Each structure stands twice: as C-alpha cells, then as structure tokens.
Amino acid sequence: MSSKWELKEHSVGELTTTVSGDTWKKAQNKAFKKLAKNVELPGFRKGQAPESLIKKHISTQSILMEAVEEVAGKALMDGVEEHDLQLVARPQLDFDGIDEEKVDFKFIITVKPEVTLGEYKNLDVKKADASVTDEDVAAEVTRLQERYAELVVKEDGAVEEKDTAVIDFEGFKDGVAFEGGKGENYPLEIGSGSFIPGFEEQLIGMKAEETREIKVTFPENYQAADLAGQEATFKVTVHEIKTKELPAADDELIKQAEMKDIETLDAFKEHTKEELKKQKENKAEEDFTNELLTKVVDNASVDVPQVMIDEETDNMYHDFAQRLQSQGFGLEQYLQITGMSEESIRNEMAKDADKKVTVRLVLEAIADAEKLEVSEKEIEEEMESISKMYNMEIDKIKQMVSNDAVSYDLRMRKALELIKESAGK
C-alpha cells in the first residue's frame, strides 16, 4: 500500500492512498460477517441463515462502508508514518472512489506548520534596571499616610488637586436635564478619575458656595447610548472643600497599620525596599522576556493553522470558566453581570491564543535547530520540584503529569533560556 502527500495552503494537505487486493477482500469478508450477525430471516436464528440467503439482504454498499471502517485507520497511520507527518487536528476522510476491487482514500490533514527562523541569538534587548531608590520607598510611606489620612474642612482657599469637593450637580443636554445626571452633596476627590473626563479638572479653583457651568463631552463608549459622544453642560455648586490631613510618618503610624512583624518605621522601610525590589525584578524579567519573544517571533515566519488557534482558545476558555467556578461564580452568571457573550469573550481570547501558539511553535523550532535534549535526570528533578511546590507525593504527581509533558516544558524552557542568555551582548 503506497500513498501520496500533497501540501496545500495554511498547513492543510491531502493524503491519498489506495487499498486493494487481498487486504481489501479480507476487509469486505470481515465486514460481511459482522453485518450478517444482525440479519434475522424467518425460520432461522439471528445470524444463522445460510450465507447465500443473507447476502440477498445485505447491500454491497453496506459491506463496502463497513469494510472502510476496517482499513481506514491503518491506511491513515501508514501514510502518516511514510511521509513523517505531524498532525495537529483530527483528519477528515473522503473517497476518490470505492468498489469491490479497491478503495481510494483521501484524507484532509492539518499538519504542524513549518517555521522559518530568523535571528534569535544576540538580540539587542536589555533588562531594565530594578534598583529601588529612596524616593520609591518615600512614595510608599506617603501612600501609607494617605491610607490613614483624615479629611478636614478647608476654611479658606479653593479646590485643588487631591481635595475632596462636596458638590451638587445637574447635567443638561441641549438645555434639557437628562436622567441620572443629578446628585446632591456628592463627595468627589479631584484627580480620582471617577467622573467624565474633563469634569474634575474644571472644579479646580472653585471656592465654597460657588456655582459654575462645566462643559464636557461623554466618551464614545459611554454606557448610556443616547449620551455617548455627546456634549453636555453641568451646573455645579461647591458646598464644602475638604483636604487630606496626613498623619506623621513615625512608629505610631506603623503600629496603627497593624502589619505582621513590622512595628517601626525603619522596619517598614526595609520591608518595603525588599518588596519593591522583588516587584521591580519580576516586572523587569517579564518585560525582558516579552520583548525578546516579540522580536524572535517577528524575525520568524510561520503560518499558524486556524485549528490550532481554535484549540488554544478552547483551552483558555475552559481554564477561564474553571477559575470563575473556583471563585464561586458560574459562567452564565458572569455573562449576565458583564453583559458579554461567549462569542465576544472567545474573540478576545483568540488574539492571545494566536500569539501563544506562534511563540510555542517558534520555541519548538529553536529547540530543534539547537538540538536541545532533556535527560531522564532532569525530568526526575522537575517532578520532585513540582511535588514540593504542590506539597504532594511524587508518585501522585507522576500519575497526573506524564514524562513527555515535563520533557516538553523543560525543552521549551531551555530554548527560552538560550535566547535570554545571548541577548544584550
């Protein structure tokens, strides 16, 4: 049995093969015997009638279709092995012809796409500085002070950035008040961004009991469709201006915050410096990796089959639904609350899915090009690491995670490390 492989577009091709001779005859005989077992004829037990009589009650077409089931799988496997094909989706079966002498199969197959690598070593990408300054620490101290700040009435002066203005407001469109545009004694922190863009800024400079008309334009994506993108005028009266009075930055503030194992300002500063260092290092590493992968992918050429993107999108959607469930949300409940549809969520996920699949294919190609291998010892060590991470017995981990999956992850990690180690040199 020989086959022919022809690659078409987007990693989709046709594998054609013919089954004939004894193989095809034996498949038909086996198919007939299988079908014969279910034939009931008057005067005979089920499947026990003479073969000559049974043949009159089973069509040739039925036998041929049943015979196809007998040989199609092996014909596919033989063709895949002959042409060394890497399938990424379930093949579709079609026929170029079928009769009692032979069957001509045509399998529509999507294969792993070919990746043409560009530059992936010595890329001009450097990791950002992750040092923590005194100013960074001071900003965290200020944030802590603001958390415990008190609002006090400003007796004199005007509204400034970060002040809280207690206001009455009413909105008008074309001179007519609109629904939902009115409020009384509303405490608005200037600079919070909680109102329509441009609204808060125009309150700056107003004094207590002053009234002013403010003109704004609603965002194009505003939730009320009749106001989206429209101009409006708000009549605003400031009744009271409050400013934040920060507590002193001292040990008393730290005690008030009730942080575990931190009782002094100096201890807070030291702890903050360490945490900021970790955050900056993680951010720098993440940005460095993302920029590198973007360059590597941009330098490469690969036509990702849609079926791979769809499969990755399905996985992402399934993981998303599981995360919601772990947080006590049902997927249907989430869709109702957000007003989103499954389709809109999937469409957004598809963009990331495309990037993830592309990165994976490019890293696989790099691992192949560099002949990266993973030893049994490395797999065992990784299994032990996973065991410690999840505090589970290693035998249980091995039941849940295959050696092939661990080997694949380690190989991809090696490919990424190779790119990172050579970058910025």
Which superfamily is assigned to 3-112 in CATH? Trigger factor ribosome-binding domain (3.30.70.1050)
pTM for the full model?
A: 0.74
Q: Residue 323 corresponds to which tokens in the numbers above?
A: 């995360």
- Number of Cβ within 10 Å of residue 356's Cβ equals 17
Q: How far apart are CA 51 and CA 32, in angstroms?
A: 10
Whether 401 and 383 have beta carbons less than 8 Å apart is answered as yes
Query: Phi and psi dihedrals of 222, rounded to 5?
Result: -60, 145
92-98 and 102-110: which strand pairing?
Answer: antiparallel
Question: Which stretches within 21-59 are classed as H helix?
Answer: 21-36, 51-56
Q: What sign does the dihedral 259-260-263-266 (CA atoms) show?
A: negative
> What is the per-residue pLDDT for 95?
83
Look-up: residue for tokens 């923590």?
A: 132
Contacts of 33 (CB under 8 A, 6+ apart): none
Q: Residue 175 corresponds to which tokens in the numbers above?
A: 């001179």
> What is the per-residue pLDDT for 333?
86
Q: Would you put residue 299 in left (φ > 0), alpha (ψ -120 to 50) or beta?
A: alpha
Which superfamily is assigned to 288-422 in CATH? Trigger factor, C-terminal domain (1.10.3120.10)
Q: What sign does the dihedral 259-262-266-270 (CA atoms) show?
A: negative
CATH number (1.10.510.10, 3.10.50.40, 3.40.50.1470, 1.20.1090.10) of 150-245 reads 3.10.50.40
Q: Residue 237 corresponds to which tokens in the numbers above?
A: 């009266």
In the chain, the N- to C-terminal Cα span, in Å, equals 54
DSSP reduced 3-state for 238: strand
Q: Is 71 exposed, middle or buried (CB count within 10 Å of its CB: 0-12, 13-18, 19+)? A: buried
Packed helices 403-422 and 265-299: angle between N→C axes, nearest 10 degrees: 90
Per-residue pLDDT 10s for the chain (425 aa) are: 679 999 988 899 999 999 999 999 999 989 888 888 777 676 666 656 666 666 777 888 998 998 999 999 999 999 999 999 999 989 999 888 899 999 999 999 999 999 999 999 999 999 999 999 999 999 999 999 999 999 999 988 999 999 999 999 999 999 999 988 999 999 999 999 989 999 999 999 999 999 999 999 999 888 788 888 999 999 999 999 999 999 999 999 999 999 999 999 999 999 999 999 999 999 999 999 999 999 999 999 999 999 999 999 999 999 999 998 888 888 888 888 877 888 989 999 999 999 999 999 999 999 999 999 999 999 999 999 999 999 999 999 999 999 999 999 999 999 999 999 999 76
Domain ranges of the chain: 3-112, 150-245, 288-422
Question: Which stretches within 83-221 are classed as H helix?
Answer: 134-147
